[in-house]
Amino acid sequence: MSNNTERYGLLIDYEYCSGCHVCEVACKKEHDLTVGQWGIKIHQDGPRQLDNGRWEYTYIPVPTSLCDLCADRVKGGKLPNCVHHCQAGVMVYGKISELAEKVDKDTMAIFSR
Amino acid sequence: MKYNNAYNFDLYPKTLRWQEGDLTATRTTMWSGPGCHNGCQLIFYTDKDGKLVKVEGDPNSPYNQGRLCLRCLELPEITNHQDRLKWPLKRVGERGENKWERISWDEAYDIIAENVRKFQKETGPESIVSMMGTGRNVSQALGQNQYANFGGPDVCLAFLSGDSCMNPRVALCYVMMGNINVADMSQFRENRYEDDSEWAAPENIIVWGNNPVVSNSDCFLGHWIVESMKRGSKLTVVDPKLTWMAAKADTWLRIRPGTDAALALGMLNVIINEDLYDHDFVEKWTHGFEELKACVQEYTPERMAEICWINKHDLVDAARTYANAKPGCIQWGLAVDQSKIGISTAQAIMCLVGICGNLDIPGGNVLIDQSANLNFSYGCGIDTLEPGMREKRLGDDKFILKTYGFGSTSQSDSVLEAIETGLPHPVRMLWLQSANPIANMAQDAPRVYKAIKSMEFVVVIDLFMTPTAVALADLVLPAAMSHERDCIRVWYDPLRTLSKCGTYYEAKEDEQIGIDLGKRLAPHKWPEWVNTTRDFMNWKLQEGGVPWTMEEIEAEGGMIYHPFNYKKYEKGLCRMDGEPGFNTPTGKFELFITVFEAFGNVAPSLPYWEEPPESPYSTPELFKEYPLVLTTGHRSFEFFHSEHRNSKTSRELHANPLFDIHPEAAEKFGITEGQWCWIENRMGRFRQIARFDITLDPRVIRAEHGWWFPEKEAAEPTLFGVFDSNPNNVIPQFEYGPTGYGAPVKSLIAKVYACTEENSKITPTEQVTKLGGFGYVK
Ligand code: SF4
Ligand code: SF4
Ligand code: SF4
């Protein structure tokens, strides 16, 4: 994969995603999306109780087909708007190969474009 | 793990302003409506006409480190909203008819000055009262204007019974330790987290009575805790609902709303009786340990767990975990204040901090002060009052902490009482600045609505035409937003500036209104050279002996951190006399509060437990009729109190008011998910949509606050539907504790039933505005 057509993407450590909707709104504002349209959407698992008594309550943000990895912002040297503002600091933008190297724990996902 | 900090700092210079293409970027602080009181640092991008085009979080800010909430991200939408108030308006119809005439600021000032002079002459300046909503940039403007220009002694939060937000905790901390304290997430230092050589991630964080990632309350960004979790902190969460943080916690205490004091007392019992406390700190620095020890004996973990509806083992575990953590910290919240025994609750929790030796240590609860020695709060300008006037402050005769200045506002219930009864003196004019009490802040909102209707002259200053303005105002004045203001922010470090980079029609800064009125009403109380808000800031900085001008702070990038010291009580940094110890009568951290005793036992000197005024146990008969515990006041990501209801994005995410109910309870009461339901008690009712939540105790429901509907008709009887979904229809005034603080907002009882066509013919707003209210006996 490491050639000049290498894909870029987002690495998300969703263990700490608080479901704050900031990525959704950051994307909406950057792309001026209309009501009902999202470039990234938070999905929710739980809360439900596991057999061991602990609770599963997880948010995971999923970029949609409208995500262009903030091509304009990135061209201007900025971070994608969701990455810039993520309240929990759990999103990383970069080349897929570099993102893959950062994966060092459970609950991490890479989205590629 | 600082994942997203790969900002391109070449694009974010540390200067105040720069150019980015066609846009001017200004680095400033968010500290006005709409938004919270944190003061995050933002970059505002404005076009050549001064119109706000976009915002970004400031990557150079150690405070928020580039991050923002959705509410700040949607600022351009709100700032440029077509419904924003654009110029002063004078009422031409009856109150509530929503008929207005545009007038100039000069005309508005003339009308105000004429009324003020009339009331001053006829019934004295004390017949004029000023109130605000939540504490933000407006605070100092409100105080200065009220004291210097109107000359009356009364400033308070708008009909917030028992001053039940932050003020109880602050007053308690002042009597107990002479200082306030905050959970330490390294926020008072420029280098954060592991870059700070002294800070340590707390081993255990008790998140008590707030949901920090959502609420960001009390100048504390909730996601700082998430950063601390990434660095190893374990959580204990005290909350009736499983919040996201509670799901990540080692221990979740699903407490019965309103029983926080019982939990804290039970934990004190465990920690003291199992000898887990910090002997060194207790011996050297506290007063009243033996008394506390004796007092907590009756509060056994068995009994307290039963009261709290939690498992005894969880209570004991939480106590042991906190006591053994090195360090441990407590991030407390609004639930502490919003109980009749709010002061006792706060005291019990602070006793935990004290006896475990977690006070003012890295990763503990740190003692803090304002970032500059200005009285930039409710007390701003109080020394301009004429002799004898301060003594007329409402509630001071009844509440000793107010009399002796431990609380800087008038006691709110006492103001309501004066309006209703004319005693001890009449109140005829009300000045409401950034406050929408009937939608949000006022308990028993229908009663407050009626009380304000009786007043002779009411001025509302706000961003939008609110229900309060439509129903009650004679004059409505447009307020500026953060980026339309020059200001400084001194609430905790860092010292920050707000630097103006835009204007909106004729909207004005609150301080400017005060300055302008000062020229007409009380020029002798103002320096002649103070003409602009910038002058105002420089004047106050000078007065406070701060070594910088506003421009000099801006030259530092609009943000200055002071050196921060831990264990200030050891270093003689807490007391006026420079001696080690705390700024209390005993010089100690007072587990036993001597001030209460000295003033004639005005309140118990030791923490205690008492059932809420209405509860399954204090009013068992009533509970049969209203068989659920109702709690309210928790936050949503999309809104700040009654704000953001006119934001398209917030409403897209959160269209309607929701209350949480366990599916078992829903089944019992014949309710399906998504159904509009009435929530009712002996005072009145309101309606919200049922949302199922399996994590609640089936005996507890949880309703949202602050709802009004800007999309609905403004005029009465619709009045933006302000009473339709308002839990303040069912929350009393005058249920405060012995010091005048606290209100039972979090612990009511109620019943719930589905809305039908038959039972919904009259909306609560019609009931209140047209039919004289709910008719319960006060
Ligand atoms: S990278 Fe840009 S386009 Fe993609 S989800 Fe984030 S904000 Fe939206
Ligand atoms: S901004 Fe970050 S924390 Fe918030 S929902 Fe998106 S990924 Fe989660
Ligand atoms: S905490 Fe959120 S809403 Fe408050 S100032 Fe910061 S970004 Fe804005």
Which residue from A minimizes the CA distance to B10? A77
Query: Which of A10, A22, A24, A70 for a ligand 1 pocket mutation test, highest count of atoms within 8 Å of Cβ?
Result: A70
Average pLDDT along chain B, 778 residues, taken 10 residues at a time: 75 94 96 92 95 96 96 97 97 98 98 98 98 93 97 97 95 95 96 94 98 95 97 98 98 98 98 98 98 98 98 98 97 97 98 98 95 84 96 93 85 98 98 98 98 98 98 98 95 94 96 98 98 97 94 94 95 95 98 95 96 98 98 97 97 98 98 98 97 98 98 98 98 96 97 97 96 72
> What is the whole-number distance in angstroms between the Cα of residue A37 and the centre of ligand 2?
17
Tell me the torsion sign for CA atoms B100, B103, B109, B111: negative
> What is the whole-number distance in angstroms between the Cα of residue B74 and the centre of ligand 1?
16
Preceding peptide of B327 cis, ω within 30°:
yes
Task: Tell me, yes or no, if A107 comes closer than 8 A to chain B by beta carbon.
Answer: no
Determine which residue's CA is closest to atom 7 belonging to ligand 1. Answer: A27
What is the 8-class DSSP label of residue B758?
G
Residues of A in contact with B637 (CB under 8 A): 19-21
What is the 8-class DSSP label of residue B676?
E
Determine which residue's CA is closest to atom 8 belonging to ligand 1. Answer: A27
Residues of A in contact with B22 (CB under 8 A): none
- At B1 the pLDDT is 43
Determine which residue's CA is closest to atom 3 belonging to ligand 2. Answer: A17
Phi-psi region of B518 (alpha: psi -120 to 50; beta: other; left: phi over 0): alpha
Strand partners, B508: B479
Ligand 1 atom with the smallest distance to the CA of A70 is 2
Q: Please identify among residues 35-74 of chain A the ones whose CB lies closer than 8 Å to any CB of chain B.
A: 35-36, 46-49, 55-57, 59
Query: Which of A90, A92, A93, A107 for a ligand 2 pocket mutation test, highest count of atoms within 8 Å of Cβ?
Result: A90
Contact yes or no for B270/B296 (Cβ under 8 A): no
> What is the whole-number distance in angstroms between the Cα of residue B24 and the centre of ligand 2?
28
- At A3 the pLDDT is 55
CB contact under 8 A, A84 and B10: no
Which residue from B minimizes the CA distance to A11? B3
Going from the C-alpha of B494 to that of each of B57, B428, B551, B596, the distances in angstroms are 16, 40, 16, 34
Count CB atoms within 10 A of the CB of residue B540. 23
Pocket of ligand 3 (CB under 6 A): B 30, 35-36, 38, 40, 64, 68-69, 71-72, 216, 221
Q: What angle do CA B590, B594, B596 make, to 5 degrees?
A: 120
Determine which residue's CA is closest to atom 1 belonging to ligand 2. Answer: A86
Cα–Cα dist B52/B415, whole Å: 39
- Interface confidence: ipTM more than 0.95: yes
CB contact under 8 A, A25 and B7: no
- At B408 the pLDDT is 82
- At B403 the pLDDT is 85
CB contact under 8 A, B695 and A83: no
Determine which residue's CA is closest to atom 3 belonging to ligand 1. Answer: A67
A44 Cβ inside 6 Å of ligand 2: no
| Closest ligand to residue B227's CA | 2
Count CB atoms within 10 A of the CB of residue B341. 30
Phi-psi region of B700 (alpha: psi -120 to 50; beta: other; left: phi over 0): beta
A62 Cβ inside 6 Å of ligand 2: no
CB contact under 8 A, B223 and A89: yes
What is the 8-class DSSP label of residue A88?
T
CB contact under 8 A, A89 and B65: yes
Going from the C-alpha of B22 to that of each of A82, B49, B50, B216, the distances in angstroms are 23, 11, 12, 34
What is the 8-class DSSP label of residue B150?
I
Q: B260-273 vs B312-324: helix axis angle to the nearest 10?
A: 60
- At B2 the pLDDT is 57
| Closest ligand to residue A29's CA | 1
Contact yes or no for B52/B79 (Cβ under 8 A): yes
Determine which residue's CA is closest to atom 2 belonging to ligand 1. Answer: A70
Preceding peptide of B494 cis, ω within 30°:
yes
CB contact under 8 A, B694 and A47: yes
Query: Which of A15, A20, A84 for a ligand 2 pocket mutation test, highest count of atoms within 8 Å of Cβ?
Result: A20
